[in-house]
Structure formats: C-alpha cells, structure tokens
Structure 1
Amino acid sequence: MTDFNRLFRERIGFPIDTPITMGNLDNLLELTAASLPFENQCTLTGNLSELNEESLIEKIIHRNEGGLCYDLNGILYLFLKDNNLDVQLIRGAVYVPELNDYSPTGHTHVAILLTDRGERYLVDTGFGGNLPLRPVPLGSTEMKTPTGEFRVKNEQSEFGDYILEMKLKHKDTDWRIGYAFDSAHPVQDVRELNETKRIITEHPGSPFNKKPLVTKVTSTGSMVLTETNFTQWKNGRVTKQEIDSLKFKQLAKEHYNLDIK
C-alpha cells in the first residue's frame, strides 16, 4: 500500500486493510463527503498555484483542507486509481436554474467515470450540496440514494453526451438538470485541470470567486456556511442562523474542521 493510499483512508476514516470494491463504494463516498468539505477559500485568494498530484495531496491530506470539484474529485480519482479501479476524470457544465441555462464558465465541472464489469457509473464528490453519495449508472436508471433520486441520461448537448438529473430529498418535487458531461473525451492527467482552476478563479461568471462558501453532505442532510448564514438540513428539517465573520470562522472549525485565516 502506498503512503497516499494509507493517508487518504486515515483522512476519511476508512479501514486501512479493506479492499475498495463496488460493494463498499457507497460507504467510501459517504465518508469522503463527510470528511472533505466543498469550499472555496483558495479560490477567493486568487491562488493559481499548479494543480497536480503532489499539490492535491498537500492541500487535502497534509493541510486538512477541502476544495472545489477539481480538488475533491481529483484526489478521489487518484485514490480510486491507486486501488486499481477503472476510473477516468471527465468534464461537464453545470446547469444554473436562475439563468435557465448552463454556467457561463462552460466545461468547468469535474467528475469521475468508473467502469466495472462493462458497466459505467458517474461518481461525484465535488458537486456541493447535490451529492448522490452513490455511483450512478449511465443510461437513465433511476437511483434512490440517501440524498434523493438521481439518473444519468444519454442526451447530446454542446457540453457532451450525458446529462445528470436529480430530485433532492426534501428540496425538489420534479427532476432537474444537475450538469451535462462528456464521457468521450476524458482528462488524461490531473494537470489538465489547471485550465479549469484558472477559469473558476478568474471568470466573472464564476460563482466561487466572490464570497466564501463551505458545504458538507451527509446521509441525513447537508449544511451550508456562508459569510452571513449557517443553514442546516437534517431529516427534512431546516434551521438557519445569521452569523458574522467571527462566527463564520468558529463554525468552519466546529462543523468542517477548517482553519480559516
């Protein structure tokens, strides 16, 4: 076992000696989501340091941080690959309901395509509060998960050949588009994601370069922390608390184990 393999397992609380299989991937995804927060602190600083295997391990394993989709799915991809799973990184475009269109940042969502016994699955631990916490099969099969219902439809768009749709538990009554993605042109190396990082950091249409955001998803709900509010969904009940900058830092440490400068 590599040092990275062991350290990632320790970071999320997954047993050191247990092989990673399709049978325990659900548990792995829940632990990953609960341990690695979706957050944009580095993006807010304008940090454009190179994204590569070493920097991902330094950021998420050694500095105990979370990150955005390219960080979280980047590190999970490296871990799954290190455990001999057949995985590829893919790019997609997030649908923005307020715009009634896809994000102006284009192909800047990063997820994972996993192949097992000839079947392909979408795996995503970097989609904010919208995580399935399960591998979602490609081909319109509806998946019921702890966070809602998800399906991946084979549908051509300018952003690829598939679309993820979802109905989040206690939030959505109808299916809605999460993102479109391209399964035919996978990312060959995590360093290719530096362009994605640059766009998310600099593009005026990026939702992540303006205000702080920290999100975590669990099997019972989710929690979202902004500079003004802390909102928790748990078993269908919502609580919302107004906060200031000092409380923001306290809650980031208490609920996400993040040290905010």
Structure 2
Amino acid sequence: MSEPRLTNRALYLQRLGFDAPPAPTLESLRALQLRHTGAFPFENLTTLSGEPVHIDLPSIEQKVLHEGRGGYCYELNNLFLALLQELGYDARGISGRVVMGQPEGAWTARTHRLSVVVLDGVRYITDVGFGGMVPTAPLLLDTAAEQLTPHESYRIEQHEDGYTLRAKVADEWKAMYIFDLQRQEDIDYAVGNWYVSTWPESSFARQLMVARTGEGWRRTLNNGSFAIHHIGSESERRQVADVDELIRLLQSEFGIRVPEHAQLKRVLERLIEPA
C-alpha cells in the first residue's frame, strides 16, 4: 500500500519560508524543524471542544494549512513526516512515552509520536509536536553527548528498553520522554490518539496546552497562565483575566484562528476560573 501524499506541499513549504523544495540535507532538516515549531503551534483545542481529533493526512492538512490551526504530536509529526518523505528523506514514524513531570523511573503509556531520520548512515530523531519543550533541531541518536539547539540543550541516554530524551532546564537534566525504534503502523497511532483525546483523565482532555517557539523565546499557555520564556534570561508570566482575552491571546501570540464553538468557549471559561 502506497504512503498517503501531501496535496498542499507548495503551500506547506511557503508557510515554512521555502519558495522551492529544499534538498534533503541535514542543514535543510534543521531549518525545517526550527521553522515548523515557530509556524505551527502545539495546541489541543479540538480535544477540549469534545470533537474527534482526526489524524489522517488530508484532515491534518485541512486543519493546519487551511483553517489556521495547530495540533499535537499525532497531527504535527504526521504532517512533518509526510513532508520529509516527499522531500526525499529516509524517515519513518516511531513512538514514545512522555515522562516529563513524572518521578524518575516512571513508565507511562505510549502516547507520543516522533520520527527517526537517517542521513548518510547517521540516525537522528526529529520532533515538532512536543509542546513547550519541543526540540528545535534534529538530535543525533547514537551519542550521549550534550546537543545544542537554538533553544535548550538536550541529550539522549540509551538503556535496555530504548532511549530517554532529556532537556537541560535550569542546569538540571530533566527527562522528557522514553522512546524506541519499534515499527509503528497507523493503528498504533490511532490507539494512542484515541486514548489521549478521549480518556477522561488525560491531560489533553482536562487542560488547555498551547506552545510556540521563536528566535530566543518560547511562548506557553496552560489554562489561564501565559508565559514568554526568554532563553538565557527571566521569563515573563501573567494570568489571563477572561475568555475573550484568552481568545485574543491565542490569535495574537500563537497565530491560532480559534473556532466558533459554544462548548469550547464554555470549557475555556471554566479552565481559566481562579482556583
């Protein structure tokens, strides 16, 4: 069975600042990943609205390229992988277990999608769908060394069950997710997507999570808490006062065209109420 193909490649590349398809090089991959995390925000508005999250390629293209939206890993990394493959990269999807914020040694559900890319026999991971700590450059897989990106530093630890990605946050190496190179099929992603978008205890169903990167900064929004994290200096933080301000913030700071959806607005109002 042939891989699904992008129908809007030229528009997609234009959104990433390319007038023509770039050559499948490491330099191009670095530019594609960095620009992607700035152009297409991580967000979970669809889940909060109670609507299904469709992760087939045509649905993702429509949402992200035409409806002014972002998405989460099952959407953004699926779209990005399709682009990489069309540009001629040797790339495939893999999956992992998010452990950010969990006790050291935690073993969580397999609910994260990312990709592995092989360039001249060298393996990298690439990820454009990991929220407020998304790596902004591809990372060498087969090294334990610290790896610099335009934002934080990362390192990859190999262990018996695969690999752990860690980010350097305030001089501490914090685990982001555990992953391996096991073959994945569409059904594996469908199961993970169903779980994170419909399980009542899933953080994606219980809180607003939005993130975007830029030169020297990350912007994050968690329920009503908005922050601009400046790389190498203090973060700016403020609390959103009401749902109208929240919607304006989503549009102005994250570039999201917020859908007119009554249930979504009610959920957002509830999420930003003071505790």
TM-score norm. by structure 2 comes to: 0.85
Quote the offset at 1:2 in angstroms.
6.7
Give the alignment of 1:24-103 within 5 angstroms: 24-48=28-52, 50-100=54-104, 102=106
2:165 aligns to what?
Answer: 164
Quote the offset at 1:119 in angstroms.
1.1
Taking the aligned partners of 2:21 and 2:120, their CA distance within structure 1 comes to 23
- Secondary structure in structure 2 of the residue aligned to 1:129: helix
Taking the aligned partners of 1:102 and 1:43, their CA distance within structure 2 comes to 25
2:122 aligns to what?
Answer: 119
Mean CA deviation greater in 213-222 or 26-35: 213-222
Partner letter of residue 125 of structure 1?
A: V
Question: Is the Cα–Cα contact under 8 Å of residues 64 and 70 in structure 2 kept in the other structure?
Answer: yes
Taking the aligned partners of 2:176 and 2:247, their CA distance within structure 1 comes to 30
Question: Is the Cα–Cα contact under 8 Å of residues 93 and 102 in structure 1 kept in the other structure?
Answer: no
Match for residue 181 of structure 1 among 173, 179, 182: 179
Q: CA RMSD in A?
A: 2.0
The 1:138/1:259 distance shift into structure 2, 3 A limit, reads same
1:200 aligns to what?
Answer: 196
- Secondary structure in structure 1 of the residue aligned to 2:91: strand
Question: Is the Cα–Cα contact under 8 Å of residues 39 and 66 in structure 1 kept in the other structure?
Answer: yes
Quote the offset at 1:78 in angstroms.
0.6
Taking the aligned partners of 1:102 and 1:206, their CA distance within structure 2 comes to 16
Where do 5+ consecutive residues of structure 1 fail to align? none
Match for residue 223 of structure 1 among 219, 227, 246: 219
Mean CA deviation greater in 37-46 or 94-103: 94-103
Greater fraction helix: 2
Quote the offset at 1:74 in angstroms.
0.8
Taking the aligned partners of 1:76 and 1:36, their CA distance within structure 2 comes to 11
Question: Is the Cα–Cα contact under 8 Å of residues 73 and 124 in structure 1 kept in the other structure?
Answer: yes
Quote the offset at 1:98 in angstroms.
4.3
The 1:17/1:108 distance shift into structure 2, 3 A limit, reads closer
Taking the aligned partners of 1:49 and 1:43, their CA distance within structure 2 comes to 7
2:22 aligns to what?
Answer: 18
Structure 1 position 240 matched with structure 2 position 237: yes
2:251 aligns to what?
Answer: 253
Quote the offset at 1:4 in angstroms.
2.4
Question: Is the Cα–Cα contact under 8 Å of residues 162 and 181 in structure 1 kept in the other structure?
Answer: yes
Question: Is the Cα–Cα contact under 8 Å of residues 6 and 83 in structure 2 kept in the other structure?
Answer: no
2:271 aligns to what?
Answer: none
2:134 aligns to what?
Answer: 131
Quote the offset at 1:156 in angstroms.
2.2
Where do 5+ consecutive residues of structure 2 fail to align? 261-275
Quote the offset at 1:186 in angstroms.
2.5
Misfit runs of 4+, over 6 Å:
none
Counting aligned pairs with the same residue, the percent is 24
Deviations 1:158-213 (A, max 9, x none): xxx1111221xxx4212121111121x22234x64221111001224421111222
Taking the aligned partners of 1:124 and 1:251, their CA distance within structure 2 comes to 25
Partner letter of residue 251 of structure 1?
A: L
